[in-house]
Amino acid sequence: MFIFHRALGRLGLALLLGAVLPACSFLQPYRVPVVQGNVVTREQVGALRPGMSRIQVRDILGTPLLTSVFHANRWDYVFTLQRQGAEPQARRVTVYFQGETLERFEADALPSETEFVSTLGNREPPKVPVLEATPEKLQEFPAPAPAPEAKPLPPLPASYPPLEPATR
């Protein structure tokens, strides 16, 4: 009888845990962030100009994710990012060519590079240091030592020895 009550207690505990644990939000399985496609930023699209060659566009935006035999004058750059606990991101940039030159492009609202980096983590974008020295800061450094005078080089020879021996 004791074994029956013990087994019944374990079964009851298992049922109770089975009913309570799914309600806990902290016990979600980890989902790997899924990044697909080309990340295209506002700065990259800002560098595009009509009349650019296909190679120049590829150098700026990267290799297109979608190219079609039926639409040879169109490149599609698609980007999706799905992360746990965040809204999925999807962006598209379409580039149209006339022959071998860029005719026009269409793009969704794109983030700047720092905005995109800040969405990847829960931290602020890094602060960019000021790369400028004030005159007061320059006074703190010692003046550079003068360079020593260069010695004149010896004159070049009038003729050089042969590359191969003269006897065969």
Residue 126 has pLDDT above 70, yes or no: no
Q: Residue 96: count other Cβ atoms within 10 Å of its Cβ.
A: 14
Rg over alpha carbons for the chain, rounded to the nearest Å, is 34
Q: Give the pLDDT of residue 18.
A: 63
Residue 137 has pLDDT above 80, yes or no: yes
How high does pLDDT run on average in the chain?
80
Q: Give the pLDDT of residue 5.
A: 58
Q: Give the pLDDT of residue 94.
A: 92
> How many Å apart are CA 20 and CA 11, to the nearest integer?
14
Residue 26 has pLDDT above 60, yes or no: no
Q: Give the pLDDT of residue 96.
A: 93
Per-residue pLDDT of 36-81, as tens digits, reads 888 888 899 999 999 999 999 999 999 888 777 888 889 999 888 8
Q: Which of 63, 62, 73 is nearest to 101 (CA)?
A: 73
Residue 1 has pLDDT above 60, yes or no: no
The answer to pTM > 0.85 is no
Question: Phi/psi at 12 (nearest 5 deg)?
Answer: -65, -40
- Alpha carbon distances (Å) from 151 to 145, 147, 148, 154, 157: 18, 12, 9, 9, 18
Q: Which of 80, 8, 5, 71 is nearest to 37 (CA)?
A: 80
Q: Report DSSP letters for 79-138, one per residue.
A: EEEE-TTS--EEEEEEEEEETTEEEEEEE-----HHHHHHHHSSSPPPPPPP----HHHH
Q: What spatial distance separates the first Cα and last Cα of the chain, rounded to whole Å?
A: 113
